[in-house]
Amino acid sequence: MLIAVPKEIQQGENRVALVPDTAAKLIKKGFEVGLEKGAGLNANFPDELYEKAGVKIFTSPEELYNVADIVLKVQRPLDHPDTGKHELEMIKKGSLLITFMYSLHYPEVAKKAAEAGINVISMEAIPRTTLAQKMDALSSQANIAGYKSVLMTADKLGKIFPLMMTAAGTISPAKVVIMGAGVAGLQALGTAKRLGAIVEVSDIRPTVKEEVQSLGGRFIEVETDEVMQDEGGYAKEASEEFLKKQKELIFKHVTEADIVITTALVPGKKAPVLVTEEMVKNMRKGSVVLDMAVEFGGNCEVSEKGATVEKHGVHIIGEPNLPSLVPVNSSEVYSKNLLSLLEHISKENNVELNLEDEIVKGSLIVYNGEVINERTKQLLN
């Protein structure tokens, strides 16, 4: 079977789905691997490294897609700027596409894949189980995003993070508030603490309190009887009453912070607004807000997708694709996630999609010309 790795065409995407080391491992297992010329350049992996690993280089996406049995991508399929065709129109019927489809946000792309007869595994839908841990690309990318978010806000802030005793006096440590204690939030907490900041973390799930405290953070707790996470460990959509309580409690913490990093996402829903314009107005001049959920509506009421803006004297960073800003490591870990998945679903170099398997069942969005993921299907009805 030939595994194809095309060049990513979404604006601002620097990652590549497969790095040379991982490609070599797949070739050793008996797969063939084809790469579109220059696909790894933005992640600092030149074609020569792929060729040394035994990868065949293709000069055009159409030529590559035409022979592919499995297509590995980072971003969902889009209209191709060079060919004028949608990527799903170029992929061979019966092929398996593995990518971040985000079908709960873009169900029409899943429908188009079904019409084209292309099977789709979506990486953000990999179940959060012990067995699937090595394939959990959502976590691997969020980990890097959390780290990068702290560096970006530290760079924008006009003061240093740590407490510093100098002959000229004492410099107080910066105060960082993180909204959401998932993988990205916890990595942001750890990074900010290592830089010397005082860190407070808010999350709708009281179960994460111990994790926050074990990393040296202070947990901002909202008292509630509601169950705030689903069976998969993801945050559920909160009630209006809970969000009102949370905003009242958070107001004081946010307005006293130097930096606020928001990471709250609910699968398939618009991101909840956690930082209102009123909060931003009451923050100190020169403070920084980074909205990690800006691609899906944003946690900050006044953030702008793809831009860093100043509102009421506060810098607001709306970078929608933080992992792409660290493309070497992001590509390496994503590549390993894909390798683990391919090892799980293939036998003697043949992919076998066993619908009884919990990982396949959870992540297979389109199969045999049909959208089979229930939540995606409901959005299309």
Look at strands 346-347 and 350-351 and give their pairing.
antiparallel
* CA 35-136-139 angle, 5° bins: 105
Mode of pairing for the β-strands spanning 198-202 and 218-220: parallel
CA angle, 133 then 137 then 143, to 5°:
95
Active-site residue, from 75, 136, 324, 331? 136
Given the residues 11, 133, 172, 213, the one annotated as active site: 133
- Residue 133 a catalytic site member: yes
262 and 300 Cβ atoms separated by less than 8 Å: yes
- Which position among 10, 21, 47, 128 bears the catalytic label? 128
As a whole number of angstroms, the distance between CA 192 and CA 155 comes to: 12
Write down the number of H helices and E strands in the chain: 13, 19
H or E stretch including 160?
A: none
d(CA 346, CA 193): 42
Place of tokens 């993801």: 234
Residues 6+ apart with CB under 8 A from 258: 157, 159, 174, 175, 176, 197, 284, 287, 288
Please check whether residue 70 is in contact with residue 40, taking contact to mean a CB–CB distance below 8 angstroms: no
Strand boundaries in 205-258, DSSP class E: 218-220
* 314 DSSP β-pair partners: 311
From residue 248, alpha-carbon distances to 19, 129, 190, 260, 274 in Å are: 46, 35, 26, 16, 10
234 is catalytic: yes
Of 139, 194, 205, 357, which one is the catalytic site residue?
139
Residue 286 CB: number of other CB atoms within 10 A? 14
> How, if at all, do strands 218-220 and 164-166 pair?
unpaired
For this structure, is 141 an active site residue?
A: no
Write out the E strands in 159-225: 164-166, 169-171, 175-179, 198-202, 218-220
Return the active site residues: 128, 133, 136, 139, 234
